[in-house]
Structure 1
Amino acid sequence: MYRFLLSRQWVILTLVALLLIPTMIRLGIWQMHRYEERTARNQLVSDALSSAPVPVERMTSPGHVVTRDERYRNVSATGRFDTSREVVVRRRVNADEAVGFHVLTPFVLTDGKVLLVNRGWVPADAPTQTAFPKVPAPPAGRITVTGRLMPDETTAASGIKDLKGLPDRQVMLINSEQEARRLGAVVLGGYIALTSPAPRGDTPQLIGRPGDEDAALNYAYAIQWWLFSAAVPVGWVVLVRRELRDRRESAQEQAERTEPAAV
């Protein structure tokens, strides 16, 4: 009665089932790895955000590439804002998904080096998107600022094209190497997203804290794939038993039809 398993249809079905089981197990393992990676990243970000501020030059230097472990670390710096060479970063959105600009202001340290400070978001309130927006001035004179250390933006990492021929004092990316060439100064690698002092008015709006990635979904997907892999052999057995039952019923009906009638 099990010879039907050697038929072309059942051989193909069995091979597909045998391929699905390890594939689904591997997909579950991949999702579990994603869960572990996101959990570790969330912990790394949480630790960085809760860290005590340290002098910025302990974390970065000219030409330094901010690492994953250094990202979001709280740093402080003392100096003055140079608004005469301030630029805005185009096509940035705030928490309400409104399109505007980020304000990038050079901060001249006491030793003459420059730290790039993202002072926050301002709306594109000018008649056109190409016009320079209204930017509130930062505190004047020598002050101490704190912020979250961030790596240089690149097209590869952000997906933002670094367009050329932009209006005066507008850029697409926050990149310390580009700004060093524009300013003709020694610029620390990366930049900071300002957290203190807070703006005096509604703008610039400070850049919000990064949120946690939802790692729980990856955990759920891993369990789901493993359940699917367990369901495949169960489903195969159910189909075999159903086919066997149908064949037995069909054989019994055939036998009844061919049985001689009683005299």
Structure 2
Amino acid sequence: MYRFLLSRRWAVITLVALLLIPAMVRLGFWQLHRHEARVARNALIAHNLKAPPVAFDSLSTPGFTVPGDLTWRRVTAVGTYDTAHEFVIRGRTEPGGSSIGYFVVTPLVLADGRGSVLVNRGWVESGADATSYPVVAAPPAGRVTATGWMRADETTASSGIRDRGGLPDRQFKLIDSTKQAGRTGATVLGGYLELASSVPAAGDSPTLLAEPNHSDIGPHMAYAVQWWLFAALVPVGLVVLARREEKERAAALAAAAPVEELAAA
């Protein structure tokens, strides 16, 4: 019985199964680590969103790279909007929708003279002509207090968006404080402020972006459990397959026995 397990075919089947088990276990731990990272990220975002706002320029300086623990930190900036250097970011989705348009980014020159902060004032729809600058409502004039969330400069690696040139005037693909400083010659603090509210409030303004969803943990834990179940089922599958083949071989031998007896008679 089960001598067929010593065949080359079964040696290959067993080898493949033995390779699949650790691979599936590792995939399960990979999904577990993604789950843990998502939970930690959500906890950090929730903490930063609840924290009292602090001045943007107390955290950032020109060329500053916003670390992960400061992303979505509530911040404020006081100053005057520099509409002459306003620009838009192409190919961005409407909050809660599927329409593609632009983010409107306006530098806010700080009242304390430490430089300017890029403020993402929200989303506007694209017009019929993608080569023309979209219609954008002007921000409040005079001294403004902008409150929102600190965000890191966008890169191709972090966003998956390729930063290409040759775009119409004042239109870009990524929000990058360092590049904007190089284009304008102004002192720009690293990162940018994603606007939530302002005083005074703007009347007709771009659509503000919503705060991030920090309650969704994703399906990674379920995927981890699935991979581990698959790994556990591999040896069970081997046993079932071997027993089935043994029964088929036994049935074939039993069917051949009468024929051999008749031939002998």
Instruction: Tell me, yes or no, whether TM beats 0.5.
Output: yes
User: Superposed, which structure 2 residues align to 1:114-129 within 5 Å?
Assistant: 114-125=116-127, 127-129=128-130
Residue 142 in 1 paired to residue 143 in 2?
yes
- Structure 2 partner of 1:61: 61
Distance of aligned partners of 1:128 and 1:216 in 2 relative to their CA distance in 1, 3 Å threshold = closer
Give the one of 210, 224, 227 matched to 2:226. 224
Unaligned runs of 5+ in 2: none
Letter of the 1:131 counterpart: S
Find the aligned partners of 2:183 and 2:248 in 1 and give their Cα distance: 80
TM norm structure 2 = 0.90
Letter in 1 for 2:38: R
Equivalent residue, structure 2, for 1:108: 109
User: For 1:171 and 1:30, how far apart are their aligned partners in 2?
Assistant: 36
Which amino acid counterpart does residue 184 of structure 1 have in structure 2?
A: G
Q: What is the letter of the counterpart of residue 47 of structure 1?
A: H
Contact 1:49 1:72 in 2 (8 A): yes
> Could you say if the C-alpha distance between residues 260 and 45 of structure 1 is closer, same or farther in structure 2, counting changes exceeding 3 Å?
same
- In structure 1, give the amino acid aligned to 2:230: F
The one-letter code sitting in structure 2 at the alignment partner of 1:244 is E
Tell me how far apart the structure 1 counterparts of residues 164 and 248 of structure 2 sit (CA, whole Å): 68
CA distance in 1, matches of 2:99, 2:218: 29
1:200 is aligned to: 203
Q: How many residues align?
A: 260
Deviations along 1:184-212, one digit per CA (max 9) or x if unpaired, are 221110110111125423x3001222224
- Give how far 1:247 is off: 2.7
State the Cα distance separating 1:235 from its structure 2 match: 1.4
What RMSD, in angstroms, separates the aligned Cα atoms of the two structures? 2.1
Determine the C-alpha separation between the residues in 2 that align with 1:162 and 1:27.
33
- For residue 215 of structure 1, give the secondary structure of its aligned residue in structure 2: coil
Alignment-derived partner of residue 253 in structure 2: 251
In structure 2, what residue type is equivalent to 1:196? S
Q: Is the Cα contact below 8 Å between 1:54 and 1:74 reproduced in 2?
A: yes
**Which position in structure 2 is the counterpart of 1:99?**
100
Which amino acid is the alignment partner of residue 200 of structure 1? Answer: G
The answer for the alignment partner of 1:39 in structure 2 is 39
Match of 1:51 in 2: 51
Deviation at 1:217, TM superposition (A): 1.0
- Give the TM-score of the pair, scaled to structure 1: 0.91
* Structure 2 counterpart of 1:211: 213
Per the alignment, do residues 196 and 29 of structure 1 end up closer, same or farther by CA in structure 2, a change over 3 Å counting? same
> Distance between the aligned counterparts of 1:105 and 1:134, measured in 2?
14
Mapped pair 1:158 → 2:147: no
CA shift at 1:216, angstroms?
4.1
CA distance in 1, matches of 2:37, 2:153: 23
C-alpha separation in 2, matches of 1:130 and 1:21:
54
- Provide the rounded CA distance (Å) in 1 between the counterparts of 2:167 and 2:248: 74
Hey, what does 2:174 align to over in structure 1? 173
Q: Which moved more, 1:250-259 or 1:18-27?
A: 250-259
| Matched position secondary structure for 2:189 | coil
Q: Select between 16-25 and 242-251 the one with higher mean Cα deviation.
A: 242-251
CA distance in 2, matches of 1:49, 1:225: 35
Residue 73 (1) aligns with residue 44 (2): no
Q: Distance in 2 between matches of 1:168 and 1:17?
A: 59
Moved more, 216-225 or 158-167: 158-167
Q: Distance in 2 between matches of 1:253 and 1:132?
A: 83
User: What one-letter code is carried by the residue in structure 2 that aligns with 1:129?
Assistant: A
Q: Give the drift of 1:172.
A: 2.4
Which runs of 5 or more residues in structure 1 are unaligned?
A: none
Task: Please report how far the alpha carbon of residue 45 of structure 1 lies from its aligned counterpart in structure 2 after TM superposition.
Answer: 1.6
